[in-house]
């Protein structure tokens, strides 16, 4: 195929290809051809196999009549490069060439073609090209799809790493803020005046609000990245609802709201992730309380339908309501339908988006019914099957003990690189009687653990040098520390982080930010369960 001279020998019969060889070439799935560039400028197809009809979109008869049809169908985006390579090949000393280009077929479809050409000189002083063209569009698309999937996998990994980093960087300072205010409130650093205690309560409240916003952003990012996994179990419905309602009791009391809760007797248990179900209910109840004026009413109703296999959680209020137009965009991230009242109604616009996504992760749906000025009703419908009440499903109340001096000189190895967290945890545990040794990274942890033989190790996950997971694995391999309780204390609260720590050998896991009382209770619990035959 050349641009030299498209005058052809009409319906040429190939002089060099006859008999059985021709039958064989006619059966090849690719286009086999011989193309002669004559010394006098007469170019023609000496032979072209029938496959050109399906691959090139032209018949052999058309090409015998007009050889230029072949190269005229090259995609406009590839024709310049094709001309450059083909011209250099014909004029140069190179005897073999492989070309890849797109072909624009008469039916409008674009196909990827790979042509391999071998060049011979003819006795008459011309050039004979022997070529095979193969349609490798499917292979090309498969390769492109593979490349796209690999790029998506790399992007997902980078996003995973970014979220883990952000989780750590945002939650670690909040740990110190909440922990130090808790320590100050409990008198770890001395007695405080009433005005100072009120200020600490304000700091704590603001820090917890910031933590909620951070958690919402991270949760939404994890859902979008497909990294949020549900940990489902049989959840008692009434206690879960009462727990969510209790969260807003002070605000409802302050606004003089009437709070109603009803649940059908049949709706006793639901299979769900208890943390995420609570998050759904708290978000919806929070909106109901927030958007209901003083002396109004809010309610939570639970009903079930055994025939349909569903359970419904309906949260209603007598608040300001939502227009039909705003309902269309209500569940979009970062949307606040009352943006003009943002100073009165604080929020990020993430709550309802998370409600929708987490409900869908459970296989359910969320709907809204509302009119401006007439309140709103949000209904979360989840898959459900009735089950009989079981004694072992009764919720257990965990009471955190008050701060006491219970350390009794027990040795704690704190492995942490955040100065604020170090000071907070060290001061608190020492006041309670523990002997605290500090290691700022995994390698120091190994050295100090073998040297001091601690009774318990508090291990951060993300540190410079050796990280917490690698350090835990090595500690478990050494006879001195193989049985020492290790509490993983980390701000990396991403999906799978807890499992990674426990798989490495951690005894238990505590996510930052945590309360100092919760930390002390967990330490005491692990020490009580510690075996008495530790190696000396």
In this structure, what CATH number is given to the domain that contains residue 339?
3.30.565.10
Please confirm whether the linkage preceding 513 is cis (ω < 30° from 0): yes
Residue-level pLDDT at 344? 47
Which SS3 state, helix, strand or coil, does residue 28 take? coil
If asked whether residues 80 and 195 sit together in one domain, one would say no
If asked whether residues 73 and 185 sit together in one domain, one would say no
If asked whether residues 384 and 480 sit together in one domain, one would say no
Overall domain count for the chain: 4
If asked whether residues 323 and 353 sit together in one domain, one would say yes
Residue 167 and residue 492 in contact, taking contact as beta carbons nearer than 8 Å: yes
Q: Give me the DSSP letters along 378-403.
A: EEEEEE-------GGGSPPPPPPPPP
If asked whether residues 271 and 168 sit together in one domain, one would say no
Residue-level pLDDT at 399? 37
Q: Which helix (H) or strand (E) holds 240?
A: helix 237-246
Strands 297-305 and 96-104: unpaired
Region for residue 394 given its phi and psi (left: phi exceeds 0; alpha: psi -120 to 50; beta: otherwise):
beta
**Angle subtended at Cα 263 by Cα 262 and Cα 264, rounded to the nearest 5 degrees:** 130
Provide the residue range defining the domain that includes 295. 233-391
The pair of structure tokens assigned to 31 is 């286009």
Residue 359 and residue 280 in contact, taking contact as beta carbons nearer than 8 Å: yes
Region for residue 517 given its phi and psi (left: phi exceeds 0; alpha: psi -120 to 50; beta: otherwise):
alpha
The pair of structure tokens assigned to 329 is 């965009």
Residue 369 lies in a domain: yes
Residue 492 lies in a domain: yes
Of 112, 135, 158, the residue at which a domain comes to its end is 135
Residue 446 lies in a domain: yes
If asked whether residues 374 and 454 sit together in one domain, one would say no
CATH number, domain containing residue 430: 3.40.50.2300
If asked whether residues 169 and 85 sit together in one domain, one would say no
> From residue 283, how far is each of 58, 141, 180, 336, 360 by CA, in Å?
64, 45, 28, 14, 15
If asked whether residues 152 and 295 sit together in one domain, one would say no
Of 224, 256, 276, the residue at which a domain comes to its end is 224
If asked whether residues 347 and 489 sit together in one domain, one would say no
CATH number, domain containing residue 183: 1.10.287
CATH number, domain containing residue 87: 3.30.450.20
Residue 13 lies in a domain: no
Of 135, 166, 189, the residue at which a domain comes to its end is 135
Hey, how many other C-beta atoms are within 10 angstroms of the C-beta on 338?
A: 15
Which residues are 439's β-sheet partners?
Answer: 415
Residue 399 lies in a domain: no
Residue 6 lies in a domain: no
Q: Which residues of 425-444 are buried (b: 16+ CB within 10 A; e: fewer)?
A: bbbbbebbebbbbbbbbbbb
Residue-level pLDDT at 35? 93
Residue 82 lies in a domain: yes
Residue 300 lies in a domain: yes
The pair of structure tokens assigned to 94 is 């190179």
Which residue is listed with tokens 């916003």? 213
Q: Which residues of 343-362 are buried (b: 16+ CB within 10 A; e: fewer)?
A: eeeebebbbbbbbbbbbeeb
If asked whether residues 246 and 387 sit together in one domain, one would say yes
C-alpha 382/C-alpha 202 separation (Å) is: 38
The pair of structure tokens assigned to 337 is 């339908």
If asked whether residues 157 and 245 sit together in one domain, one would say no
C-alpha 96/C-alpha 203 separation (Å) is: 77
If asked whether residues 346 and 386 sit together in one domain, one would say yes
Predicted confidence pLDDT, tens digits, the chain (536 residues): 444 444 444 444 444 555 666 777 777 788 999 999 876 667 899 899 999 988 888 899 999 999 888 888 899 999 999 999 999 999 899 999 999 999 888 778 889 999 999 999 887 788 999 999 999 888 888 888 888 888 877 876 776 667 667 767 777 788 888 888 888 988 888 888 888 888 888 888 778 777 777 777 777 776 766 667 788 899 999 999 998 898 888 889 999 999 999 999 999 999 999 988 998 998 899 899 999 999 999 999 999 999 999 999 999 999 999 888 888 778 876 555 554 444 444 455 577 888 998 999 999 999 999 989 889 999 999 999 886 444 444 443 333 344 444 556 799 999 998 888 888 899 989 988 999 999 999 999 999 999 999 999 999 988 888 888 999 999 999 999 999 999 998 776 555 677 888 899 999 988 888 888 889 999 999 988 765 444 43
């Amino acid at each position: 195929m050349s641009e030299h001279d498209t005058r052809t020998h009409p319906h040429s019969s190939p002089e060099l290809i006859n008999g059985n060889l021709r039958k064989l070439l006619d059966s090849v799935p690719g286009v086999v051809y011989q193309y002669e560039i004559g010394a006098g400028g007469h170019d023609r197809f000496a032979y072209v196999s029938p496959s050109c009809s399906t691959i090139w979109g032209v018949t052999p008869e058309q090409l015998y009549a007009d050889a230029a049809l072949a190269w005229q169908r090259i995609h406009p985006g590839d024709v310049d490069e094709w001309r450059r390579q083909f011209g250099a090949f014909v004029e140069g000393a190179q005897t073999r060439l492989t070309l890849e280009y797109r072909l624009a077929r008469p039916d409008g479809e674009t196909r990827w073609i790979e042509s391999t050409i071998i060049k011979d000189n003819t006795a008459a002083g011309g050039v004979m090209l022997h070529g095979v063209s193969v349609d490798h569009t499917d292979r090309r698309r498969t390769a492109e799809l593979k490349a796209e999937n690999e790029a998506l996998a790399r992007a997902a990994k980078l996003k995973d790493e970014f979220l883990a980093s952000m989780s750590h960087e945002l939650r670690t300072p909040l740990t110190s803020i909440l922990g130090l205010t808790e320590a100050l409130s409990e008198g770890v650093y001395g007695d405080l005046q009433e005005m100072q205690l009120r200020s600490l309560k304000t700091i704590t409240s603001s820090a917890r609000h910031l933590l909620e916003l951070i958690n919402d952003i991270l949760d939404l990012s994890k859902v979008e990245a497909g990294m949020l996994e549900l940990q489902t179990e049989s959840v008692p419905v009434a206690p879960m609802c009462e727990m969510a309602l209790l969260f807003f009791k002070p605000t409802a009391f302050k606004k003089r709201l009437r709070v109603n809760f009803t649940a059908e007797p049949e709706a006793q248990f639901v299979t769900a992730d208890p943390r995420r179900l609570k998050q759904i209910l708290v978000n919806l109840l929070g909106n109901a309380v927030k958007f209901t004026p003083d002396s109004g009413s809010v309610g939570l109703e639970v009903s079930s339908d055994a025939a349909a296999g569903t359970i419904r959680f309906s949260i209603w209020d007598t608040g300001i309501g939502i227009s039909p137009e705003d309902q269309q965009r209500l569940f979009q991230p970062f949307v606040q339908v009352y943006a003009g009242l943002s100073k009165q109604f604080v929020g990020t616009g993430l709550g309802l988006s998370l409600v929708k996504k987490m409900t869908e992760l459970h296989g359910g749906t969320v709907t809204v019914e509302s009119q401006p000025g007439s309140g709103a009703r949000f209904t979360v419908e989840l898959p459900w099957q009735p089950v009989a009440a079981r004694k072992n499903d009764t919720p257990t109340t965990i009471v955190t003990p008050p701060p006491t001096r219970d350390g009794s000189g027990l040795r704690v190895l704190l492995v942490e690189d955040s100065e604020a967290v170090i000071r907070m945890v060290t001061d608190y545990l020492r006041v309670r009687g523990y002997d605290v040794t500090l290691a700022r990274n995994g390698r120091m942890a190994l050295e100090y653990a073998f040297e001091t033989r601690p009774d318990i190790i508090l291990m951060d996950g993300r540190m410079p040098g050796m990280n917490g997971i690698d350090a835990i694995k090595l500690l478990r391999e050494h006879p001195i520390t193989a049985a020492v309780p290790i509490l993983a204390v980390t701000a990396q609260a991403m999906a799978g982080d807890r499992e990674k720590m426990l798989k490495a050998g951690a005894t238990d896991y505590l996510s930052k930010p945590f309360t100092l009382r919760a930390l002390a209770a967990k330490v005491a619990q692990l020490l009580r369960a510690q075996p008495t035959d530790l190696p000396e």
